[in-house]
């Protein structure tokens, strides 16, 4: 078998014997894509909550806060063919349809002049949606400023209407679309139709005004020509009356006057005829456009778009949730997986125990090795199998259960391990090695006053909750670390090895006191308990360094209080593999 550098395989162990500083991941802050997905999976409830809250807020906004807006459309077709009832020349020029003229018509539809007529037509000056000054009580306006106040209100209404409409020319067509957005469905349709009607009326009005100007000018000119014709005819008659004889000069004058009269009469007849034609056309004017489709009352609001906003809210909530998760994960320096633990520490993970309830009463100890709790039961059995006991007739094995900091659950691990060996009919002894708090003694004996005694009780008692022997050494030692170096303790360990197949010692936290080092040195091996996803890496590594400097090589690491859902998925896959 090819041996990897720095790995001791002589005893079949997976322990990396390189210095701890050389085994640590060189770049622990490097995050892989799989780490990101695992972080999101761990915090799935947070993500779902963020999405639910975001969607709920958006739903409340679109249903109770946002003002519904309704959009209505009307379309206008610019006429390219001229239909006339009579074939008469018009005093106005024909409308030349091209892109420039279409853009000009779009501008006219958006002009203040045209929209001002719509405001007057629909009395929008009294509508608070378009004129915020309409909220003012007319009685509060001074009489001498009433006209100015109304003129200002009209300007405000026109400006608001300009912001509420959209006019555009359909590409490659002579169609112009006018859309209006207001807070009322009927109001939007009414304004859109009023804009189209005012636009057509304005075209007819301009044509009528041009015709009237032409009629007025022609009427004046006809009157002048009529007077000139009368004067010319009178002058001609006078010349004929005064002419004597058959002189050449008299004939020339008469002929010249006769020509002037005829010319004036022809011009008069032309202008008179033209005046009659234009007068006839005054009632026949048509707009150069027509309404292609009237605006109808919209069936529902165009804004806010509820489905789109809710979808955006869901996506936004998801991203906010992801941001919170990543921010939260950046402060969590705990170990989250077996591979991560082994990569950081260099030691194998020999146990993965799921989280169980707090242990503060005897009847709850049974939960530690309960066949009904299959997950925890099988996890403790796997940990027990990793600790091979010596054959019968050989000295027993002493295992110290250590941890870096308080609250990692090493006491519950020691209890569960002892109870598991006891159920398998092995002789097992559990020793409370924490002289300072003696939490194990209090748990098993329910003795809240145990810390008052000053005597060391060397009596091993048979504990029914764990199914094996239990030794609580008491609290009367002034220097526990010195006590573990005494002959009495050495004799205790020797006796325990002779009578028990396994001796489990619950130790105090490594970083709190140095007692655990002395216990671990006296033991054959130790289990290093780490609270899953909670104990900082720095604390884990400090505890391991203390053990290594003391010459203690941990048997392995126990990840305690792991997420049950994570373990259930892995256990199920393992079960399927075992069946295949």
Least confident segment among 14-23, 297-306, 363-372: 14-23
Give the CB-side neighbour count of residue 369, counting CA atoms within 13 A: 20
Q: Are 563 and 371 in contact (CB under 8 A)?
A: no
- 352 strand-pairing partners: 559
Specify whether 233 is located in the same domain as 341.
Answer: no
Specify whether 463 is located in the same domain as 521.
Answer: yes
Mean pLDDT, range 481-500, rounded to an integer: 80
User: From residue 255, how far is each of 234, 237, 245, 261, 263 by CA, in Å?
Assistant: 14, 12, 15, 10, 12
Specify whether 571 is located in the same domain as 473.
Answer: yes
Inside any domain, residue 316: no
Q: What is the pLDDT of residue 3?
A: 38
293, 311, 343 - which closes a domain:
293
Q: Is 291 helix (H, G, I), strand (E, B) or coil?
A: strand
Instruction: Give me the domain span that covers residue 357.
Output: 334-579
What secondary structure letter does DSSP report for 2? Answer: P
232, 265, 293 - which closes a domain:
293
* Residue of 362 and 325 predicted with greater confidence: 325
* 401-426: pLDDT as tens digits: 999 999 898 888 998 888 888 887 67
Specify whether 360 is located in the same domain as 236.
Answer: no
On the 0-12 / 13-18 / 19+ scale of CB atoms within 10 A, 70 is buried
Least confident segment among 120-124, 405-409, 465-469, 558-562: 465-469
How far apart, in whole angstroms, are the C-alpha atoms of residue 470 and residue 452? 20
What does 367-414 look like in DSSP terms, one character per residue? Answer: GGG-TTSHHHHHHHHHHHHHSPPPPTTS--EEEEEEESSTTS-HHHHH
- 527 strand-pairing partners: 401, 556
Q: What is the pLDDT of residue 360?
A: 47
CATH number, domain of 574, equals: 3.40.50.300
Specify whether 287 is located in the same domain as 340.
Answer: no
Specify whether 374 is located in the same domain as 232.
Answer: no
241, 275, 293 - which closes a domain:
293
Specify whether 94 is located in the same domain as 219.
Answer: yes
Specify whether 427 is located in the same domain as 527.
Answer: yes
Q: Could you give the number of structural domains in the chain? A: 2
Here the tokens at position 407 are 């609250």
How far apart, in whole angstroms, are the C-alpha atoms of residue 527 and residue 571? 23
Specify whether 356 is located in the same domain as 242.
Answer: no
Q: Is 212 helix (H, G, I), strand (E, B) or coil?
A: helix
* 171-220: pLDDT as tens digits: 888 899 999 999 999 999 999 999 999 999 888 888 888 888 888 888 88
Inside any domain, residue 182: yes
Is the confidence at residue 489, as pLDDT, over 50? yes
| Closest C-alpha to 348, from 5, 8, 1 | 8
pLDDT grade for 288, boundaries at 50, 70 and 90 = confident
Q: What is the pLDDT of residue 119?
A: 94
* Secondary-structure breakdown of the chain: helix, strand, coil percentages, each rounded to the nearest 5: 55, 15, 35
Report the percent of the chain where pLDDT is more than 70. Answer: 79
Specify whether 343 is located in the same domain as 406.
Answer: yes
pLDDT grade for 437, boundaries at 50, 70 and 90 = confident
Inside any domain, residue 240: yes
DSSP collapsed to 3 states, 417-455: HHHHHHHCCCCEEEEECCCCCCHHHHHHHCCCCHHHCCC
Q: Are 176 and 102 in contact (CB under 8 A)?
A: yes
Mean pLDDT, range 125-142, rounded to an integer: 86
| Most confidently modeled range among 80-94, 227-241, 458-472, 539-553 | 539-553
Mean pLDDT, range 262-269, rounded to an integer: 87
How far apart, in whole angstroms, are the C-alpha atoms of residue 542 and residue 553? 14
* 227-244: pLDDT as tens digits: 888 888 888 887 777 766
Inside any domain, residue 272: yes
């Amino acid at each position: 078998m090819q041996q990897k550098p720095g790995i001791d395989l002589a005893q079949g162990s997976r322990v990396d014997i390189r210095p701890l500083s050389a085994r640590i991941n060189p770049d622990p802050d490097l995050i892989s894509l799989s780490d990101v997905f695992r972080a999101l999976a761990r915090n799935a409830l947070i993500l779902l909550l963020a999405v639910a809250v975001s969607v709920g807020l958006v739903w409340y906004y679109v249903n109770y806060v946002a003002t519904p807006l309704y959009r209505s459309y009307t379309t206008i077709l610019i006429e390219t063919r001229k239909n006339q009832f009579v074939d008469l020349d018009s005093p106005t020029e024909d409308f030349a349809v091209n892109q420039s003229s279409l853009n000009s018509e779009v501008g006219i539809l958006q002009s203040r002049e045209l929209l001002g007529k719509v405001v007057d037509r629909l009395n929008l000056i009294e509508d608070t949606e378009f004129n915020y000054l309409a909220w003012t009580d007319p009685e509060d306006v001074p009489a001498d400023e009433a006209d100015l106040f109304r003129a200002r209100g009209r300007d405000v209404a026109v400006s608001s209407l300009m912001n509420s409409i959209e006019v555009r020319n359909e590409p490659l067509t002579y169609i112009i679309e006018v859309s209006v957005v207001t807070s009322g469905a009927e109001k939007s349709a009414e304004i859109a139709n009023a804009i189209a009607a005012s636009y057509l009326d304005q075209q007819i009005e301009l044509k009528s005004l041009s015709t009237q100007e032409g009629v007025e000018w022609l009427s004046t000119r006809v009157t002048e020509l009529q007077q000139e014709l009368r004067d010319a005819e009178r002058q001609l008659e006078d010349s004929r009356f005064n002419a004597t004889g058959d002189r050449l000069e008299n004939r020339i004058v008469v002929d010249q006057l006769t020509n002037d009269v005829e010319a004036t009469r022809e011009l008069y007849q032309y202008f008179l005829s033209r005046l009659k034609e234009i007068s006839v056309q005054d009632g026949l004017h048509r707009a150069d456009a027509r309404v292609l489709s009237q605006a109808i009352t919209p069936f529902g609001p165009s804004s806010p778009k509820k489905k789109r906003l809710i979808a955006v809210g869901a996506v936004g909530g998801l991203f906010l949730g992801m941001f919170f998760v990543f921010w939260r994960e950046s402060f969590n320096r705990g170990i989250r997986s077996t591979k991560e633990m082994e990569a950081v520490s260099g030691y194998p993970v020999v146990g993965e125990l799921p989280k169980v309830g707090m242990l503060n009463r005897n009847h709850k100890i049974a939960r530690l090795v309960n066949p009904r709790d299959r997950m925890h039961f099988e996890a403790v059995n796997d940990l027990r199998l990793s600790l091979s006991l010596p054959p019968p007739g050989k000295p027993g094995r002493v295992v110290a259960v250590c941890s870096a900091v308080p609250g990692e659950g090493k006491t519950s691990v020691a209890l569960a391990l002892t109870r598991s060996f006891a159920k398998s009919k092995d002789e097992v002894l559990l020793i409370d090695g924490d002289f300072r708090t003696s939490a194990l003694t209090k748990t098993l004996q329910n003795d809240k006053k145990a810390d008052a005694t000053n005597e060391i009780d060397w009596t091993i008692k048979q504990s029914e909750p764990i199914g094996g022997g239990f030794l609580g050494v008491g609290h009367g030692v002034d220097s526990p670390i010195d006590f573990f170096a005494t002959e009495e303790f050495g004799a205790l360990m020797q006796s325990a090895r002779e009578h028990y197949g396994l001796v489990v010692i619950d130790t105090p936290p490594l970083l709190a006191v140095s007692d655990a080092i002395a216990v671990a040195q006296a033991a054959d091996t130790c289990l290093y308990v780490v609270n899953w996803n909670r104990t900082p890496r720095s604390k884990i590594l400090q505890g391991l360094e203390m053990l290594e400097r003391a010459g203690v090589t941990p048997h392995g690491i126990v990840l305690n209080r792991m997420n049950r859902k994570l373990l259930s998925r892995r256990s199920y896959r393992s079960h399927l593999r075992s069946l295949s």
